[in-house]
Structure 1
Amino acid sequence: MDKLKQMESFVAVATRGSLTAAARAEGVAPAIMGRRLDALEERLGVKLLLRTTRRLSLTHEGSAFLEDCQRLLADIANAEAGVSAGGVKASGHLRVTAPAGFGRRHVAPLVPRFRELHTDVTISLNLSDRVVDMAREGYDCAVRVGDLPDSSLVSVRLADNRRLCVATPEYLKRHGTPQTPQDLARFDCLVLSSEASQTRGWAFRVPRKAQGLHQEELLDRPEGETVLNADLTGTGLAGADLAGAGLSDTPLVNGAQAEGELIYYRPQGPLDCSDGQVLHDWCLAGYGIAWRSTWEVEEDVSAGRLVPVLEDYAAPPNGIYVVFPQRKHLPLRLRLWLDFLKHHYGQPAFWQSRR
């Protein structure tokens, strides 16, 4: 049995915490991973891991050997990375996860195209709106849309994610057009259920001309005081009306001016769903107003099937990211996949071709 493969398997099991997670990451059965560890321990004549049905733990010898293995494998990776691109060929299994709706449109079409370039790489794509535990579940990277929580994961921003309130022309003809976020209380809002996302609500930014706040005033405000206590005359967003309209404000954190411009509306619509595509379909059918990303509705807006509303209050874009665990040396297959995503997502023509 390959000595290097035994060492790689040992490092994978020790760092991921279980045979199952390490096996899943490589795309093999846990029994294969177990046989590699048994062969390694037999060859060395020492116990490296204490295995029970519930957990794995390193022995003293295992801890020391783990450091040596990681250093050796890093040296090998560096040597391979130093070879010219023509002399190194990506191989192995790549596990990618992405949100269901975005993944269907903008990740899945790229997977076979990537493999056409790198035929020795196999790929598993998981599409789910659940935020997966990448280390525990054995994923190499995740594509994520929206604001990222604090974590130890490395993130690379691939593109902007703009969001719009949209409705059909027929719906707006029947019900009128909202002029401020406060007006949404009188309309049928199509809501993404809280277990999916948008837990803070729909994001809007009070137009700068109506803020009534100067830069120096923001700097003088104590931490935690909200910008929406300022004069909003002319915005349709008087402070006393915010709670009743479902609007919440965002506290300033350490005087951060940009955050003070945002407000959030938590709609109480007649229909909600955990699947964004269903909301899109309901919106196209004329059942109400939805808050969707431009990558999902831009084609319908261009064709006139949907009309943007409240554009003056549109929040600044958040991001489309790829995230991956912190590590000193990325496998070549993962580095090439990250570069592939950055290349395609960085081209305006890519988003237009998805229509």
Structure 2
Amino acid sequence: MQFFVLVARLGSLAAAARAIDLTPPAATKRLAALEARLGVRLVNRTTRSLSLTSEGETYLRHATRILADVREMEDVVSQGRATPRGLLRVNATLGFGRTVIAPLVSQFAQRYPDVEVQVEVTDRPVDLVESGFDLAIRFGELPDKRLNARRILSNRRFLCASPGYLERHGTPATLADLASHRCIIHRQNDDAYGIWRFMHRDHSEAVKVHGALSSNDGDIVLGWALDGHGILIRSEWDLAKYLDSGRLRVVLPEFRLPAADLFVYYPSRRNQPVRARAFIDFLADHFKGARQRHG
């Protein structure tokens, strides 16, 4: 089951073989033996691609759940052990996962050498239960009610622009003024394009904005704002050092934007693995310290 789940996740027999130190012929033989024992074809293979059959999809769904149950059983049996150990699968967003979470995993691995950590970064939403992840790290609240969440960082969002842009184009005094400004749009998931939503005196207001530059990557749009191309929405986590240095200024601070708090999400199981608890506590301690250092 572990082998098949790996093949399905990586989408390649060769990649699965490399991951578990098998030769490609041995991986092919293992898959063929599994299909022969079940009496059904689990995958459709060509020289360039691999896709699951409907039977393969069913096998994957059940195998993922069973493997998660086995891990949970082992965790329950070994709860008395003080030292976290075993496999921890973590999902995080691309940029934040690469620049912030990966270095923290390095520190965590030094503290807990008996924990094997697998980190997968992707900006698309993931189903923790179906994908077999122990936890996901995301900004903003997820709609999946099957999950538990722990906030590890409060993170407000602001309108901001460079001093150079504001000198050339003026500083907006009202939300209506944004319509005549160049706005840099960060496209995220299914958010309505170019619609910015604010709260002011307990009222919600939506503004349609326009601009020549947009991207789905947060670092790219932040760079454009620093270069003076327009007004941008970013979180205080991203802005802190630029606001401190004066490279960016907050615009219309009296209008509140939806927060981008950082959460750790995990399947709503009663018996959370010791290693998962240790990692979540490790993250919470780090971000609490980071917030205190940044004031």
> What is the TM-score of this pair, normalised by structure 1?
0.63
Change (3 A) 1:304 1:152: same
The 2-side partners of 1:196 and 1:72 are apart by 35
1:337: which partner in 2? 279
2:244: which partner in 1? 302
Larger-Rg structure = 1
Question: Aligned letter for 2:86?
Answer: S
Question: Aligned letter for 2:108?
Answer: F
1:277 and 2:267 correspond: no
Change (3 A) 1:304 1:327: same
Q: 1:176 aligns with which of 155, 167, 170?
A: 170
Amino-acid identity (%): 31
Q: Deviations over 1:58-93 (max 9, x none)?
A: 8xxxx9xx99x998875543231134x1xx34133x
Q: How does 1:1-355 map to 2 (within 5 A)?
A: 9=1, 20-21=8-9, 28=20, 52-53=42-43, 54=53, 55-56=55-56, 76-83=74-81, 85=82, 88-92=83-87, 94-193=88-187, 195=189, 197=191, 201-208=195-202, 261-315=203-257, 317-349=259-291, 352=294
Q: Deviations over 1:231-278 (max 9, x none)?
A: xxxxxxxxxxxxxxxxxxxxxxxxxxxxxx332333221111111111
Contact conserved, 1:90 with 1:120, CA < 8 A, in 2? yes
Contact conserved, 1:91 with 1:120, CA < 8 A, in 2? yes
Shift of 1:121: 2.3
Contact conserved, 1:144 with 1:321, CA < 8 A, in 2? yes
1:155 match: secondary structure: strand
Q: Deviations over 1:7-59 (max 9, x none)?
A: xx58x97xx7x8635998xx648977x969x79xxxxxxx889763322558x
Shift of 1:314: 1.9
The 1-side partners of 2:175 and 2:261 are apart by 23
Shift of 1:128: 2.7
Contact conserved, 1:202 with 1:264, CA < 8 A, in 2? yes
Residue correspondences, number: 271
Contact conserved, 2:134 with 2:276, CA < 8 A, in 1? yes
Contact conserved, 2:179 with 2:208, CA < 8 A, in 1? no
Shift of 1:296: 0.7
Q: Deviations over 1:325-346 (max 9, x none)?
A: 2334333322221121122122
Shift of 1:351: 6.4
Question: Aligned letter for 1:78?
Answer: V
Question: Aligned letter for 2:168?
Answer: R
1:246: which partner in 2? none
The 2-side partners of 1:48 and 1:81 are apart by 35
The 2-side partners of 1:178 and 1:347 are apart by 35
Change (3 A) 1:298 1:35: same
Change (3 A) 1:302 1:184: same
Give ranges in structure 1 of 5+ residues lacking alignment: 1-8, 40-46, 209-260
Deviates more, 1:128-137 or 1:149-158: 128-137
Contact conserved, 2:72 with 2:273, CA < 8 A, in 1? no
Change (3 A) 1:298 1:74: closer
Shift of 1:159: 1.6
Change (3 A) 1:91 1:205: same
Superposition CA RMSD, Å: 3.8
Give ranges in structure 2 of 5+ residues lacking alignment: 44-52
Question: Aligned letter for 2:119?
Answer: L
2:78 match: secondary structure: helix
Shift of 1:324: 2.1
The 1-side partners of 2:130 and 2:259 are apart by 31
The 2-side partners of 1:204 and 1:142 are apart by 27
Change (3 A) 1:325 1:28: farther
- Which stretches of structure 1, 4 residues or longer, exceed 6 Å deviation after superposition? 29-32, 47-51, 69-73
The 2-side partners of 1:122 and 1:74 are apart by 16
Shift of 1:139: 2.7
Question: Aligned letter for 1:106?
Answer: V
Shift of 1:204: 1.3
1:237: which partner in 2? none
Question: Aligned letter for 2:75?
Answer: A
Contact conserved, 1:301 with 1:307, CA < 8 A, in 2? yes
Q: Deviations over 1:93-137 (max 9, x none)?
A: x33222223323431221100000111223233333222333444
